[in-house]
Chain A
Amino acid sequence: MSAEPLVADHAHDVSDHGHDPHATTTGLSHTKLAMWVFLGSECLLFGGLISTYLLYKTRGNGRTLPTDVFDIPFTSVSSFVLLMSSLTMVLALSAVSRGEDEAGRTWLLATALLGGIFVGGQVYEFTSFVREGVAFTTNPASSAFFTLTGFHGVHVSLGIVMLMSLFVASVKGKLTQRNAETVEIVGLYWHFVDIVWIFIFTVIYLIPAD
């Protein structure tokens, strides 16, 4: 029977965001693996919503289409804000992994703030669309558009709730270097929401409808 390299394992705990590689059958964090499987399944959800919009985007029933009222400069700024929130998220993980709790809290808060700006922008966009005659039930195109972007907005909002939970946990001293993996898992969700928007921004907003 071989001797266990105890010292090396303990060092490993910290370098791997607190996950003990010998605690699971795969040597990997099952929580993190579960998050990746979940994100894989989310591709199917958003794929369905995006495909539905693509199929319905020209079905206006003689009324105004979402593409007629797009405000690309405004949405570009929102997209940039969400993209930069991915940077602050990864900086939060980096700080917590190094044991810099104060910096970690700052970056978590910055990420939640940027996410809040994005959601606020989406609410503004939705209300301006309604004012211009494009509501949820106006036509199949608008229903598909609001469903897709609304689902994404809900995902971002849930991400903000998770980020704020991490922030509160950190303030209470319950989020430290040893359980930085929790930050990493929330970060994976956050980055996924970002890459979904990267896709939506190009396919729905930038590629011409005709």
Chain B
Amino acid sequence: MSDTATSEHSEPDTAAEHHDTEHAHPSDWAYVKIAVVLAVITALEVFTYFESVVDWGVALVPSLIFMMIVKFYLVATWFMHLRFDSKLFGRMFTAGLTLAVGVYLVTLTVFEFWV
């Protein structure tokens, strides 16, 4: 496993945004650090299950959703390289994700899920 950075993050080509194909990826050590953060967050999530240890009360659901979003973001930006790749890739994914979240929030509302 290499401990040296393969390259540093470079700014997108200002002349042609869609041409910013040269994506610099972080070092293996950076990936390991991200994985450790993900593992710690997962441990915290599981910790919430044991109510006898700490009573999270009304903070439980918001905390779980926040931790889920952080994990989602870390995997998408670091492991899937959205942080370093062309913005077009991210837009394609975000379009599908946003559409899905919008459509199904409306669906859940129509079926009175929140009531």
Which A residues are closer than 8 A to B by beta carbons?
12, 15-16, 19, 21, 26-29, 32-33, 36-37, 39-44, 46-48, 50-51, 54-55, 72-73, 76, 79-80, 83-84, 86-87, 89-91, 94-95, 97-98, 103, 184, 187-188, 191-192, 194-195, 198-199, 201-203, 206-208
Q: List 23 A-B contacts (CB under 8 A).
A: A28-B18, A28-B21, A28-B88, A29-B21, A40-B92, A40-B95, A43-B101, A44-B96, A44-B100, A48-B104, A51-B104, A55-B108, A72-B46, A76-B42, A83-B35, A86-B79, A87-B31, A87-B35, A94-B2, A201-B45, A202-B45, A206-B45, A206-B46
Q: Which of A26, A40, A98, A188 lies in contact with B2, CB distance below 8 A?
A: A98
Judging by beta carbons under 8 Å apart, are B80 and A41 in contact?
A: no
Contact of B71 with A by CB under 8 A:
yes
Judging by beta carbons under 8 Å apart, are A16 and B21 in contact?
A: yes
B1 CB contacts on chain A under 8 angstroms:
91, 95, 103
B45 CB contacts on chain A under 8 angstroms:
76, 201-202, 206
**Cβ-closest 3 pairs across A and B:** A40-B96, A47-B100, A27-B19
B78 nearest CB across to chain A (Å):
8
A37 CB contacts on chain B under 8 angstroms:
92, 96
- Cα distance, A86 to B23, chains bound together (Å): 19
Judging by beta carbons under 8 Å apart, are A21 and B21 in contact?
A: yes
Judging by beta carbons under 8 Å apart, are B6 and A191 in contact?
A: no
Judging by beta carbons under 8 Å apart, are B6 and A33 in contact?
A: no
- Cα distance, A174 to B99, chains bound together (Å): 38
Judging by beta carbons under 8 Å apart, are B64 and A202 in contact?
A: yes
Q: Which of B31, B34, B76, B103 lies in contact with A47, CB distance below 8 A?
A: B103
B42 CB contacts on chain A under 8 angstroms:
76, 79-80, 83
Give the dominant DSSP class at B's interface: helix
A98 CB contacts on chain B under 8 angstroms:
2, 6
Judging by beta carbons under 8 Å apart, are A12 and B22 in contact?
A: yes
Interface residues on B, range: 35 or more
Contacts A33-B88, A42-B96, A83-B39 given; indicate if A91 touches B28 (C-beta within 8 A). yes
Judging by beta carbons under 8 Å apart, are B6 and A97 in contact?
A: yes
- Cα distance, A192 to B113, chains bound together (Å): 27
B38 CB contacts on chain A under 8 angstroms:
83, 86
Q: Which of A15, A40, A194, A203 lies in contact with B97, CB distance below 8 A?
A: A40
Q: A40-B97, A42-B96 are in contact. List 7 more A-B contacts (CB 8 A).
A: A21-B21, A40-B93, A47-B101, A73-B46, A192-B80, A199-B68, A199-B72
Contact residues of B between 59 and 115, Cβ < 8 Å to A: 60-61, 64-65, 67-68, 71-72, 75-76, 78-81, 86, 88-90, 92-97, 99-101, 103-104, 107-108, 111, 113
